[in-house]
Chains A and B, each alone.
Chain A
């Protein structure tokens, strides 16, 4: 998995994380760590560009959920506690009442989009196909 970042000025500053490669149990901790670095450095809005991500498993969903928690300022599920982290994700997705305001997804490839869809993550995190449209939805 290759990760690069850029920060752009839209209505508010937005950090775009470009995730390329496979997001699975071997790489998801790296994604959480990079996102955590940016959030601790002051990032409040994240757009995940998944256009070059070829594969995402449930481990990747744990990473997405962890980033949601970090942006909310609440502790993420502890991956060291094992796959119980996934149970927290399941409960969160089932109870989602709207999209996250500070985390969005851009251009997932079809099979990554399918992973988001069959697990309900596309009801928790809004998915866009146009970068400018996605950036414009960050307002605070």
Chain B
């Protein structure tokens, strides 16, 4: 178990792009109850949106499947943990685009993963013994007093 942090709220949805707005609203409202740092909340919401979209489109390939989202705060960090039962996929291991190479030698890199990395401070992934992908996105909120 790589994420012992305790969530304060949980939302479970079916894999469907039309659920994305509800996920964003849930994470934003829960996070706002934990911190006043709006910039950090916006970054975390956008990063999570990319992660959930990846699960819906790549993981479940737009077929039904459960997705669980947990939100919490641990000391000076906000975190969101995303759990799903789609085939194993570790976005933290996706290649980083090397933009110094000539175009024809570059390997393609997804913008979604790039955005998740840019908008969070830490991404943690594990494949659980129960066959779940668990991805935790952590955003540091320095000086937060809430």
**What is A's interface to B at a CB cutoff of 8 Å?**
22, 24-26, 55, 57-59, 61, 82-84, 86-91, 94-95, 111, 114-115, 118-119
Contact = CB atoms under 8 A, between A and B. Distances in A.
Given A58-B50, A94-B103, A82 B97 contact: no
B46 interface: yes
Contacts of A57: 20, 46, 49-50, 53, 112
B132 interface: no
Nearest to A84: B108
Contacts of B135: none
A101 B136 CA distance: 41
Interface stretch (B3-11, B64-72, B113-121): B113-121
A111 B99 CA distance: 25
Interface in B95-143: 97, 99, 103, 106, 108-112, 114-115, 118-119
Contact of A24 (B17, B97, B109, B111): B17
A87 B50 CA distance: 15
Nearest to A57: B49
Contacts of A118: 114-115, 118-119
Nearest to B42: A111
B82 interface: no
A24 B49 CA distance: 9
Contact of A83 (B18, B46, B112, B118): B112
B21 interface: yes
A119 B109 CA distance: 12
A57 B112 CA distance: 8
